[in-house]
Structure 1
Amino acid sequence: MKGKKELLADILFNSHLVGLFKRLPLRNKLIILNYHRIRPNDPQFSTPFDDGVYNLDADEFARQVKWLKSNTQIMSEKDLLDHKQDGFFIAPKTSAPCVVITFDDGYLDTYTLAYPILKYYEVPAILFVATQMVRDRQMAWWDVIAYLIKRCAKPFIRFGGRQFPLGDERKEAIAFFLLRMKQEKYEHTKYLLSELSEACEVALPAPELQDKEILAWKEIREMAQHHIAIGSHTHTHRVLSTLSPAAQKEEMILSKLMIEENLGQPVLSISYPVGEPHYITVETSVIASVSGYLLGFTTNTGVNDWKSIQPYGVKRTARLLEKVSTVSLLTVLPGLFSWDSAASAQIKRMETHPTYADAYYRLGVIHLGQGKIEQAISSFQQAVDSNPDYTEARIKLGISQGFAGRYDEAKKNLSVILEKRPSFADIYYYLGIIHASNKQILLAVQDLEKAVTINPAYKDAILKLGVLYCQQQQYTLALTMLERASRLDPPDQDLLALVEAGRNIIAAHGDESSDLVPLFASYVGNSDQIDELVKGFVTHLSISPNLNDIMAIVEKGAFPRDNLESLLLLFQDYKAIFPEYSDIHYMLGILYKKLYQNQDAERCFRESIRLNPNYVKARLNLFNLLKEQGRFQEAIEHGYALERFNLLYPGLYCGLAETCLELARYEEAEKFAGKAIAMRPAYQRAQQVLQRIRERL
């Protein structure tokens, strides 16, 4: 049944009376329309995923775009920014309503259905992409929730002590879990999807089913070349109000970096996931600004008055976009539709008070950052005692106990999770690390193999398994793990180089060669350093699930200065919380080096090495930095320390040769240059160094 306003919209549009309202002065208004998905025109169309994100079908979208093209001034992202001066917005000189078309998320139908219509009518738009969705080819959490509940054959499910009927009440069950994901802290919902999968007795959607729903970078690049600006929708699409300020910052920065890396152009705008006022925080707009964005878009917050637009609180509406009649009335009589009451009703539904379990959990994380492992264990134990189903607290408890050498307690806690969720790959991974730390290598191998069986794309588990295969002298299997990890991450050139080196060793010395061991030592550490690995897992778990992604992008990428400065602020925040973590100091060194602040870079590399003397990459960067500054005597000491690792890095030995040449240590220089050439016969720089050495001898 139509509401009164929808009925009024139909009457006015169909009688052409809506045109009369176009004469009203609307120069002060900016209406931003927020679409998500477009349905095919087939009336029999259905989706195994969330129905709620489909706004309309392709024919209706074409009618809307045609009407908007003829009756409004449709603006691009560039147009918006061109009307921004000194932090304020200036209305265009037109009496027509100003409209911006936006799409969120990164669904394929944006390209296959919406983009051809936009292109035909030569209409600009902004597409906000959630980068994890595109990179990992995985549907977002709301789609997975809908998929699991739709496919569940049980009359009801039990979850968290509650019972949910699944007859005609599936929509209510879906709405409950969607609201839970929106409202509860990340630590409580991190494993909700896999837990719901088990409760429904439905497997998570197959990769091929998810893949065909999601945009690829090739398609995004094409749209970006045809008047579709690409903005960020964060990385994981987690609701920002459920995240700490530091986690919000990394979500924004990581997404921005990934888009810029794939498109080769700056990302200027962000739309906040589920961006109604109660789903963002007071810090969100400031974080968006310091992360390098120029505009930040909210959701379902109404219509903008040009004179009062907040650059990081730009209003959008996703409501009443199903029909051209309501869209037409929305653009010419925006005040007719009130959003404030709906927003107030939603705010009243929020339950924001933290539980005692949350307080204990957060205290445990703080203790980890301070290196107070026993206090962390105590706090996590209290969190678990308060809420036995607090999975994230139990995981941190088990890992912390393992690091403290309390292996039996660690295994007991992690095994509790496996009793309820026997297909939890992460838990087998952590158990593998615990067993390796306790020198139970066979059990460690079994656990890691189980993790990889459950999740064949588990790169970290694959690499750690390679370490243990090396210790067992199963070198061919170890190389197979390197190759497998490299196929999962083709852009990782360091890993690809190690694979090639490993193949050369096998070809030259056979598959029993222990020379493969340094390959793993240089990339991921060795089994004798397993305690350091466990410490790293504890800290990574405490800092962020995205930390490895951010570090990989920072190390390999070239960025504008603004991006580097945003990243510098992020890692400085990390350092304040985790001052004893060597990776953070290393990444600060990399950022300072990219900013040509060599003195600060040197200080950070030295601190990283002080905290972890076996940190190869930190020492290698310090060696190169000192060599570039002509401080050869200092550099050579770090070079000799690196030589002890037996690394298969031709660049290192060429650098050692150059340093020894400057110090007139010609025989050593010749030895190092020869070693570099033996690893890479076509290494022209090493050949030139060798020629210079022989001229001196």
Structure 2
Amino acid sequence: MAIKQLIKRTSGWLYLNSSVGRNQLHGAGVILMLHRVLANDRAANLPHRNELCVGPQAFEHLLMWLRKHFDCVPLMELLQPNALRTERPQVALTFDDGWRDNAVHAYPLLQKHQVPASVFLSTDFIGSRQRFWWESVGETLWGSHGDKARMHLIEYLRITGHPLPVLLDDIDVDRRSLALLHYLQGLKSLDPQELERLTDECPPESLPQALDWHQVRAMEASGLVRFGPHGASHAILTGLDDVRLHEEISRSRDALHNGCNRPLPVYCYPNGDNDQRVREQVANHDYPFALGTATGLYRGAGDPLNLPRFGVSQRTARNPELLSLRIFRGARP
């Protein structure tokens, strides 16, 4: 495994430092997708956190690497016509959901290295005591809130027809964390109301999880961070009927206009899920751009309502050459 990782990292380094890479990235933009920056890297290393979380050391390492190889620009600058006619490729950072640690851990490092970012808020959570189901259920099952809370949730899941796999009792930490990751991924398809009920069975120790409007306005006032909508309740938009879809997009738009001075004219689909019906509704709410999760370079062409992004995990933040290799693969026609 170590040799395989070394080969990937070397390939990524060669790509960025070769004429092939320079030619492919010339006039191109890269949009990165992050979610959380935790208090320490050890917590972010576990498989069930790795995809959505990075640690502060890994995040700072990523920022320094990006500044070395790219022009770090605000998202809206990258999306402007003719913006990509520059010598160096451009990169824009985006954060999904609106986690409180975006202000506590990510923002100081963005300030230190003067890297702009866009944060997309699930607006129902901002300044409220609502919780993200993934965090509440995952950390309760991991045992972060004690064995009593863990056993209560396990029993509730069993009764409601979602029993845990045996591997969640594995003594090996990494195997247990990986099993939890797969289990949580399987819960994504549940109805939002059912996920909310699961969250209600978790202890409230981790409140609040999301930013509040004071933090949003303080970061916005810096000129370094701008905010856009990521749904209101974080419901998967493709699963909503027309009435609920309209209401979900409207509520998030209105919250941003009330809470921010300059909300972004960019929508960000929860979980990246979108189809023609959803894109039409987003366009009808006066959004010329929207972010998906399909990988690829941005060259000013393609569907502006399904912009590609590259996800950043703890693994790729620690080893940005792996991100470089993903950019290479995503850039191929």
Do the structures match in fold with TM over 0.5?
yes
After superposition, give the CA deviation of every residue in 1:521-546 in whole Å (9 maximum; x if it has no partner): xxxxxxxxxxxxxxxxxxxxxxxxxx
Alignment of 1:415-564 (within 5 A): none
CA shift for structure 1 position 145: 2.0
After superposition, give the CA deviation of every residue in 1:323-358 in whole Å (9 maximum; x if it has no partner): 357534644872335899xxxxxxxxxxxxxxxxxx
Of 229, 233, 237 in structure 1, the residue corresponding to residue 226 of structure 2 is 229
CA shift for structure 1 position 321: 5.8
Equivalent residue number for residue 219 of structure 1: 215
Alignment of 1:268-307 (within 5 A): 268-275=265-272, 279-299=273-293, 301-307=294-300
Between 250-259 and 149-158, the greater mean CA deviation after superposition = 149-158
Equivalent residue number for residue 17 of structure 2: 19
Distance in structure 1 (CA, Å) of the matches to 2:236 and 2:3 = 30
Identify unmatched segments of 5+ residues in structure 2. 144-149, 171-175
Distance in structure 1 (CA, Å) of the matches to 2:151 and 2:119 = 37
- 2:71 counterpart of 1:73: yes
After superposition, give the CA deviation of every residue in 1:172-197 in whole Å (9 maximum; x if it has no partner): 466345433x334x4xx513443576
CA shift for structure 1 position 304: 2.5
Equivalent residue number for residue 144 of structure 1: 136
CA shift for structure 1 position 18: 4.3
Equivalent residue number for residue 197 of structure 2: 194
CA distance 1:73–1:192, shift in 2 (3 Å): closer
Q: Which amino acid aligns with 1:190?
A: Q
Whether the aligned pair in 1 keeps the contact of 2:55 and 2:314 (CA below 8 Å) is no
Distance in structure 2 (CA, Å) of the matches to 1:271 and 1:330 = 22
- 2:93 counterpart of 1:101: yes
CA distance 1:39–1:54, shift in 2 (3 Å): farther
CA distance 1:11–1:162, shift in 2 (3 Å): closer
Equivalent residue number for residue 33 of structure 1: 32
Of 120, 138, 145 in structure 2, the residue corresponding to residue 128 of structure 1 is 120
Between 237-246 and 101-110, the greater mean CA deviation after superposition = 237-246
Distance in structure 1 (CA, Å) of the matches to 2:327 and 2:44 = 32
Of 229, 247, 251 in structure 2, the residue corresponding to residue 250 of structure 1 is 247
* Higher Cα radius of gyration: 1
Q: Which amino acid aligns with 2:87?
A: S
Q: Secondary structure in 1 aligned to 2:126?
A: helix
Q: Which amino acid aligns with 1:41?
A: N
Of 202, 211, 217 in structure 2, the residue corresponding to residue 204 of structure 1 is 202
Distance in structure 1 (CA, Å) of the matches to 2:55 and 2:322 = 19
- 2:309 counterpart of 1:311: no
Whether the aligned pair in 1 keeps the contact of 2:75 and 2:93 (CA below 8 Å) is no
Q: Secondary structure in 1 aligned to 2:151?
A: coil
CA shift for structure 1 position 132: 1.2
TM-score of the pair, normalised by structure 1 = 0.41
CA shift for structure 1 position 308: 2.3
Of 104, 107, 128 in structure 2, the residue corresponding to residue 112 of structure 1 is 104
Distance in structure 1 (CA, Å) of the matches to 2:212 and 2:68 = 32
Distance in structure 2 (CA, Å) of the matches to 1:297 and 1:115 = 21
- 2:183 counterpart of 1:179: no
Alignment of 1:347-362 (within 5 A): none
Whether the aligned pair in 2 keeps the contact of 1:144 and 1:193 (CA below 8 Å) is no
CA shift for structure 1 position 100: 1.0
Whether the aligned pair in 2 keeps the contact of 1:37 and 1:107 (CA below 8 Å) is yes
CA shift for structure 1 position 58: 0.9
CA distance 1:311–1:13, shift in 2 (3 Å): closer
Equivalent residue number for residue 57 of structure 1: 55
After superposition, give the CA deviation of every residue in 1:386-439 in whole Å (9 maximum; x if it has no partner): xxxxxxxxxxxxxxxxxxxxxxxxxxxxxxxxxxxxxxxxxxxxxxxxxxxxxx
Distance in structure 1 (CA, Å) of the matches to 2:230 and 2:332 = 22
Identify unmatched segments of 5+ residues in structure 1. 84-89, 198-202, 341-697
Distance in structure 1 (CA, Å) of the matches to 2:16 and 2:27 = 19
Q: Secondary structure in 1 aligned to 2:131?
A: coil
CA shift for structure 1 position 254: 0.6
Whether the aligned pair in 1 keeps the contact of 2:123 and 2:230 (CA below 8 Å) is yes
Distance in structure 2 (CA, Å) of the matches to 1:170 and 1:60 = 20
Q: Secondary structure in 2 aligned to 1:101?
A: strand
Alignment of 1:159-170 (within 5 A): 159-161=159-161, 163-164=163-164, 165=166, 166-168=168-170
Whether the aligned pair in 2 keeps the contact of 1:30 and 1:303 (CA below 8 Å) is no
Higher helix share: 1
Whether the aligned pair in 2 keeps the contact of 1:321 and 1:327 (CA below 8 Å) is no
Distance in structure 2 (CA, Å) of the matches to 1:172 and 1:334 = 28
Q: Which amino acid aligns with 2:285?
A: S
Q: Percent identity?
A: 22
Q: Secondary structure in 2 aligned to 1:107?
A: coil
After superposition, give the CA deviation of every residue in 1:481-523 in whole Å (9 maximum; x if it has no partner): xxxxxxxxxxxxxxxxxxxxxxxxxxxxxxxxxxxxxxxxxxx
CA shift for structure 1 position 56: 2.1
Distance in structure 1 (CA, Å) of the matches to 2:253 and 2:25 = 34
CA distance 1:245–1:33, shift in 2 (3 Å): same
After superposition, give the CA deviation of every residue in 1:10-36 in whole Å (9 maximum; x if it has no partner): 33578x884335543422432111011
After superposition, give the CA deviation of every residue in 1:229-248 in whole Å (9 maximum; x if it has no partner): 10111110011122123222
Q: Secondary structure in 2 aligned to 1:183?
A: coil
Q: Which amino acid aligns with 2:329?
A: L
CA shift for structure 1 position 161: 4.3
Distance in structure 2 (CA, Å) of the matches to 1:34 and 1:143 = 18
Alignment of 1:571-610 (within 5 A): none
CA shift for structure 1 position 204: 2.4
CA distance 1:281–1:93, shift in 2 (3 Å): closer
CA distance 1:96–1:282, shift in 2 (3 Å): same
CA shift for structure 1 position 46: 7.7
CA distance 1:285–1:116, shift in 2 (3 Å): same
CA shift for structure 1 position 61: 1.1
CA distance 1:178–1:330, shift in 2 (3 Å): closer
CA RMSD of aligned residues (A): 3.3
Q: Secondary structure in 2 aligned to 1:220?
A: helix
Equivalent residue number for residue 367 of structure 1: none
CA shift for structure 1 position 318: 1.1
Whether the aligned pair in 1 keeps the contact of 2:10 and 2:321 (CA below 8 Å) is no
CA distance 1:263–1:338, shift in 2 (3 Å): closer
Of 315, 325, 334 in structure 1, the residue corresponding to residue 327 of structure 2 is 334
Distance in structure 2 (CA, Å) of the matches to 1:329 and 1:191 = 37
CA shift for structure 1 position 296: 0.3
Equivalent residue number for residue 378 of structure 1: none
CA shift for structure 1 position 257: 0.8
TM-score of the pair, normalised by structure 2 = 0.81
CA distance 1:321–1:148, shift in 2 (3 Å): closer
Q: Which has the higher contact order (CA 8 A, sep 6+)?
A: 2
Distance in structure 1 (CA, Å) of the matches to 2:139 and 2:325 = 38
